[in-house]
Amino acid sequence: MNKTHKSSYRFISSMIFIGFLMPVMAFWLINAFFAEQNAEAELQAFGNLADSAAQQLESRSDNSEFWCHELNRHFASAETVDKFVSSLKMLAEKHHENIRWVIWNADSEVVAKKVDSQHSDKNWPRVGKILKEASRVWFSDLESLSGMGETPRL
């Protein structure tokens, strides 16, 4: 092979390398860089979203815990249904909440309620019976897990 032929191969291969391979490699590297930047930004955004969601869950959990504690406290301190209802009304006023309730006796009869419903009042005893049965099943599951004694009477 002569020198001119050899240098023309070098020239052509250099032109292919400079004209095609280098821009393709540069484009690929720039694209990889921006993809990595986007992935980091997306990961940061998901992290912020997850932190926000975790804070909301914690706040809602604290809120639920507060209301469970308050309602249990008022229930335990009330000697009659009327005292419990007045206690609920005071609690609602104190916290500026629209608390709705239905109170049944052991025979699933409605004793007091503060619920606006499109359904007839005839349905509330049936709902009470359903909830009573559901609570018995739920408490009986607890008994089998914890070895508790008798199912609480509602």
Where does the pLDDT of residue 151 fall: very low under 50, low under 70, confident under 90, or very high at 90 and above?
A: very low
Both 93 and 114 in a single domain? no
Both 136 and 147 in a single domain? yes
Do 99 and 114 contact (CB within 8 A), yes or no? Answer: yes
Single residue among 53, 68, 97 that ends a domain in this structure: 97
Both 110 and 133 in a single domain? yes
pLDDT on residue 133: 85
DSSP state of 154: -
Residue-wise pLDDT for 79-126, tens only, equals 888 898 999 899 889 888 888 888 888 888 888 888 877 777 788 888
Do 111 and 124 contact (CB within 8 A), yes or no? Answer: no
Name the region of 2 (left: φ>0; alpha: ψ -120 to 50; beta: rest): beta
Q: What is the mean pLDDT of the chain?
A: 80
pLDDT on residue 29: 92
| Total domains present in the chain | 2
Residue-wise pLDDT for 30-52, tens only, equals 999 999 999 998 988 888 888 87
Percentage of the chain beyond pLDDT 70 is 84
Domain extent, residue 65, equals 1-97
Query: Which amino acid makes up residue 9?
Result: Y
Both 23 and 52 in a single domain? yes
Q: How far apart are CA 39 and CA 22, in angstroms?
A: 25
Is the pLDDT higher at 63 or at 125?
125
Is the entire prediction scored with pTM above 0.75? no
Both 91 and 109 in a single domain? no
pLDDT on residue 153: 45
Both 80 and 125 in a single domain? no
